Amino acid sequence: MTVVTRFAPSPTGRLHVGNIRTALHNALFALKNGGRFLLRIDDTDVERSTEEFAEAIVADLEWLGLQHDAMVRQSERFALYESQFERLKQAGRVYACYETPEELDVRRKVLLGRGLPPVYERKPEGAPAPEGVAPHWRFKLDHASGIEFDDLVRGHQKFDPKLISDPVVRRADGSWLYLLPSVIDDIDLEVTHIVRGEDHVSNSAVQIQMFEALGAKPSHFAHEALLVAAEGKLSKRLGSTGVDALREAGIEPMALLSLLARLGTSQPVEAHAHLDELAEGFDFSTFGRAPAHFDLNEVEQLNGKLLHHLDYDDVKDRLPEAIGATEWLVLRGNLAHLGEAEEWVPVLHCLIAPPEVVPDDKPLIEEAARLAETVDWSEDPWHALTDALKTSTGRKGRALFRPLRLALTARESGPEMGPLLKLIGKERALERLTAAAG
């Protein structure tokens, strides 16, 4: 069996971290098993779906590095849905209904008032249809057949269909709701594993009967605990931490994916530079049932750890031209975001405005300018210079290193000064020390 997974977003908004986690887990499971990862744009909601959002979803997944093997749009598959709907109609598995939302709401309240589950009550077969009213359509659940399946995360699941309302699958205007087209697509695209949030568990129970009614074996299911943040469940309608915001914040895609791949599992969260590294350890059996807490601060921490170990070839296309392989090795351990590399170009290669040096440090900088002319710049000029300054001034530790770093870089912190000073070079170093001393 070739593993086939799918990510099925609706183009009604931008992707947020909850969507990304679902897409990632589908992609990783397919990658680990040598399978295929599909992108299905669920755009049957014509009023709310937009081409702009559809294009943004594709662009966001590309930025994240989650490459799909094929893409389909539900809006281009209506003929398929129509033919399969007719099959179900002929088999008596879908039926017309005429109640208004107000009538249904009243009936639910009556049932609840009697202490009964608010399950839709089927009308007797052959009941006359009201004139001039277009029907909506429900899928007829088989009450004689219990629903059971083994979930890759939640274990064995069991549902009594008599306690579930027959779901509406088509509106009176002919438009489709989510459940049935999704099953038709999963059958047609030969999706073997459906990976999604635990809020879809009851949907899966209903859809299993839809698979069977269409003569197909149901896909395997993995229902994951939902992501939660400080404000609770992450919802795209709340605009929770979208891809566009993460990009603007300078987050590396693999920092985010490294967290989302392991969040809510028993595995340690570590920064990984490549998807295949994450796929190797991906295992649904390690997923817990408790909600997974997403913290952007963890992403920030992973972002720094990731940058500190990335090779130059991994980032060279996104670095300023003035930052080569040697400069990258010196700078990377001090960066929280890749964009910060740009800030070091003037320090390495340009004239910089002399910093304001406190009067007590002026003699030290003057002495440093004098000694810098005499030390050997071919090996380790930083340690040669600081050793000479210790001897001539008696200064050491922070009292020595802080004002010297400030004079040479106009910054009070940064990368290790040994390799940094070699990149700055003797000529610029002398210019800066002289300017700072003046």
**What is the CATH number for 121?**
3.90.800.10
Same structural domain, 8 and 145: no
Note the pTM of the prediction, 2 decimals: 0.89
Q: What is the pLDDT of residue 131?
A: 86
191 and 328 co-located in one domain: no
Say yes or no: 420 and 306 in one domain: no
Low-confidence ranges of the chain (pLDDT < 50): 234-239
Per-residue pLDDT of 272-303, as tens digits, reads 999 999 999 999 999 999 988 888 889 999 99
pLDDT value at residue 247: 86
Contact by Cβ (8 Å): 101, 69: no
Q: What is the CATH number of the domain that holds 217?
A: 3.40.50.620
pLDDT of amino acid 248? 83
The number of distinct structural domains making up the chain is 5
Domain termination residue (choose one: 229, 245, 262): 229
Domain check: are 297 and 364 in the same one? no
Task: Identify whether residues 300 and 317 lie together within a single domain.
Answer: no
For 157, phi and psi rounded to 5 degrees? -120, 140
Does 161 lie in the same domain as 136?
yes
Taking a C-beta distance cutoff of 8 angstroms, is the pair 273, 301 a contact? no
Domain of 41? 4-72+178-229
Angstrom CA distances, 80 to 77, 182, 184, 227, 233, stand at: 5, 11, 8, 34, 35
Residue 239 C-beta-side C-alpha neighbours within 13 Å:
2
pLDDT of residue 223: 98
pLDDT, residue 293, reads: 87
